[in-house]
Amino acid sequence: MTIKTFAAALAAITLALGTAACSGSEDNVAETTAPDAPAGISVTDGRMSLPAVKGNPAAIYFTVRNVSDKQVTIRAVDVAGAASAQLHETSEWNGKMDMQELFQLPIKPGAEVVLEQGGKHVMAYDLDDDLVAGGETEVTLIFVGGDKVSFPAKLMAPGTADMDHSAMEGM
């Protein structure tokens, strides 16, 4: 078999397999390719503090529990109705409050991590106009390895879900 013949056969097989994989219903494809939440992970008390000034970011708070025997690491967050979202941590340094982006958030086995005012939290940017107090949005945590867990976050008026982070914008 020549290299050209082998390459042509390989291309034909790849095309056939790709076509077969896509020929199922969309529901079946989504079920087999969508990652699930890591075992032992739960999220409670989701809430979003809407900004006092339109155009400023919102802060999201919640509690993550890991009852498994393995560490998991959150690497990204997606918020329905926001153009982007980032994990952040507020801390005090030299008597001043400072907010930094967290690129990963490990959750040790048996641990609980509370995302709250003055500590770890999520910032959601460029919010849709339909996100209003009294409503709800979906927050998705994306873990190293591709697993995901989604949970509802109650939409709270500015200052009612914890600290309003709009004053810290640009830090």
- What's the sign of the alpha-carbon dihedral 77, 49, 154, 41? positive
Alpha helical stretches, state H, 70-147: none
Residue 162: the pLDDT is 56
State yes or no: pLDDT of 160 exceeds 50: yes
3-state secondary structure the chain: CCHHHHHHHHHHHHHHHHHHHHCCCHHHHHHHHCCCCCCCEEEEEEEEECCCCCCCCEEEEEEEEECCCCCEEEEEEEECCEEEEEEEEEEEECCEEEEEEECCEEECCCCEEEECCCCEEEEEEEECCCCCCCCEEEEEEEECCCCEEEEEEEEECCCCCCCCHHHHCCC
pLDDT, mean of residues 130-158? 96
State yes or no: pLDDT of 6 exceeds 90: no
State yes or no: pLDDT of 42 exceeds 90: yes
Structure tokens at 162: 């914890």
pLDDT, mean of residues 6-34? 40
Confidence grade of residue 161 (pLDDT, cut at 50, 70, 90): low
Residue 35: the pLDDT is 54
Please state, for a pLDDT cut of 70, what percent of the chain lies above it. Answer: 73
Q: Please state, as a whole number, how many other Cβ atoms lie within 10 Å of the Cβ of residue 139.
A: 23
- For 60-78, write each residue's pLDDT tens digit: 999 999 999 999 999 999 9
Structure tokens at 12: 């034909």
Residue 37: the pLDDT is 79
Question: CB of 102 within 8 A of CB of 120?
Answer: yes
